[in-house]
């Protein structure tokens, strides 16, 4: 039997005669008229205004105090001292005194802040080895080349943790003291553990594990970062759950900020002891600061921030103001369209057809 020749003419490329392929499916085309569009504009303006006012009231319910201590109080001498590189290893402490006029109710969060410090530079952000900080033994002694020039020390020993991010860790420490009305001074207890994300503490950062070896022995053959005073396994040698690569301060610092002005969590008020069970009472306070981190090289500033939080976060007015501005613009546009419709299209057919 002979083969049937396939039809290759133009009719073979025609789509099937179906409602879908011939675009005969039922469709709905809205007729935009003034009676439907204008109420929608007014409704959206009202919704944005209500959201903006609600978020603004929520943000204003938080309490916040910012203290720039770069050269405040007795810190001016430490600031001048840190300008001299030869004195970088010498300790310097200072004190800043401030009042809290209205009590901070609820949980209080203690932040340190930096200004004009660019953690978002690409080469800075790449200068780290996540494989090393997840506890891989092969990367501990052979860190990534991205860590240069903070990959090995002058003796050729691999640095742990390597890279510019870890090397530049913020190392000022703070002690907050409450001075009561009777003249007594009480140290404000701050929780310095459990302030990181769960995924960071338990997944992203892990210490190397070698059987029958201590943490110091596990890091044997490595060197501390160039600008660190102590090796990584001595960050908190009293607590094995908060030292090495799983130290909370290190983990928080390694999460780079998106903007040059930022703050990072230092501690949370421990409310189990009086007189801090309800928060921070009103009164006079002082902060004793171990002044180590230099800022004059990048023209930066340092600050501490005491704040309460809501479900929306801290005092960030950007989103409430955005909603209010958007509401105003929509409302003005709705008024303009109403005037045009009233003047030109109310009795005509152009706006109804």
Q: What is the pLDDT of residue 348?
A: 55
Do residues 70 and 152 share a domain? yes
My answer on whether 310 and 331 are in the same domain is: no
- Output the CA torsion 239→243→249→251 (10° steps): -130
Cα 285 to Cα 306: distance, rounded to the nearest angstrom: 12
pTM for the predicted model, two decimal places: 0.82
Q: Quick one: 140 and 285 in the same domain?
A: yes
Residues 266 and 332 in one domain: no
pLDDT at residue 56, as a whole number: 93
Q: How many domains does the chain have?
A: 2
Asked if 170 and 117 sit in the same domain, the reply is yes
Q: Which two tokens stand for residue 221?
A: 């053959």
For residue 262, whether the previous peptide bond is cis, meaning omega lies within 30 degrees of 0, is: no
Q: Give dist(CA 318, CA 326) in Å, integer.
A: 12
Residues with Cβ within 8 Å of 270's Cβ and at least 6 positions away in sequence, in order, are 189, 190, 191, 276
Cα 204 to Cα 254: distance, rounded to the nearest angstrom: 11
Give the model confidence (pLDDT) of 18-52 as tens digits: 888 888 888 888 788 888 889 999 999 999 999 99
Q: What share of the chain is helix, strand, coil (3-state, %, to 5)?
A: 35, 20, 50
In this predicted structure, the answer to whether residue 104 has a pLDDT above a threshold of 90 is yes
Co-location of 306 and 347 in the same domain: no
Let me know whether 283 and 347 are in one domain: no
Per-residue pLDDT tens digits for 199-250 = 999 899 999 887 778 888 889 889 999 989 899 999 987 888 899 999 999 9
pLDDT cut 90: percent of the chain above it: 65
Say if strands 93-100 and 283-290 run parallel, antiparallel, or are unpaired. Answer: antiparallel
190 vs 7: which has the higher pLDDT? 190
Pairwise pLDDT comparison (53 vs 88), residue with the higher score: 53
Residue 41 lies in a domain: no
pLDDT tens for residues 55-89? 999 998 899 999 999 998 889 999 988 887 777 77
**Residue 270 and residue 340 in one domain:** no
Whether residue 9 lies inside any domain: the answer is no
Average pLDDT of every residue of the chain? 89
Q: Is 329 helix (H, G, I), strand (E, B) or coil?
A: helix
pLDDT at 352: 47
In the three-class reduction of DSSP (H, G, I as helix; E, B as strand; rest coil), residue 13 is classed as: helix
Q: Is pLDDT at 158 greater than 70 in this prediction? A: yes
Domain range for residue 339?
323-353
Q: Is there a single domain that holds both residue 291 and residue 179? A: yes
Q: What is the pLDDT of residues 256-312, one digit of tens each?
A: 999 999 999 999 999 998 899 999 999 999 999 999 999 998 999 999 999 999 888
Residue 344 — pLDDT band, cuts 50, 70, 90? confident
């Amino acid at each position: 039997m002979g083969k049937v020749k396939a039809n290759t003419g133009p009719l073979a490329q025609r789509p099937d005669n179906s409602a879908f392929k011939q675009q005969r499916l039922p469709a709905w085309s809205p007729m935009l008229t003034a009676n439907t569009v204008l109420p929608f504009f007014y409704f959206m303006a009202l919704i944005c205004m209500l959201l903006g006012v609600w978020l603004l009231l929520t943000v204003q319910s938080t309490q916040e105090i910012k203290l720039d201590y770069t050269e405040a109080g007795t810190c001016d001498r430490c600031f001048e001292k840190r300008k001299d590189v030869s004195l970088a290893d010498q300790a310097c402490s200072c004190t800043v005194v401030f009042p809290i006029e209205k009590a901070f109710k609820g949980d209080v969060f203690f932040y340190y802040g930096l200004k004009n410090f660019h953690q978002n530079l690409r080469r800075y952000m790449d200068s780290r080895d996540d494989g090393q900080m997840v506890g891989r033994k092969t990367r501990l002694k052979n860190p990534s080349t991205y860590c240069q020039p903070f990959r090995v020390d002058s003796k050729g020993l691999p640095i742990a943790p390597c890279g510019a991010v870890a090397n530049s860790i913020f190392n000022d420490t703070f002690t907050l003291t409450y001075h009561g009305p009777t003249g007594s001074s009480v140290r404000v207890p701050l929780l310095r553990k459990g302030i990181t994300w769960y995924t960071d503490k338990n997944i992203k950062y892990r210490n190397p594990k070698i059987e029958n070896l201590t943490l110091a022995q596990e890091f044997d053959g490595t060197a501390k970062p160039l600008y660190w005073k102590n090796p990584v396994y001595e960050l908190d040698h009293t607590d094995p759950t908060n030292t090495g690569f799983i130290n909370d301060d290190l983990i928080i610092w390694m999460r780079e900020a998106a903007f040059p002005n930022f703050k990072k969590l230092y501690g949370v008020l421990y409310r189990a002891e009086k007189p801090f069970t309800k928060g921070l009472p009103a009164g006079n306070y002082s902060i004793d600061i171990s002044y180590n981190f230099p800022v004059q090289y990048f023209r930066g500033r340092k600050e501490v921030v005491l704040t309460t939080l809501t479900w929306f976060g801290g005092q960030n007015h950007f989103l409430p103001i955005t909603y209010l501005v958007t509401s105003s613009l929509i409302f003005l546009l709705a008024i303009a369209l109403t005037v045009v419709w009233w003047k030109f299209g109310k009795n005509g057919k152009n706006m109804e057809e």
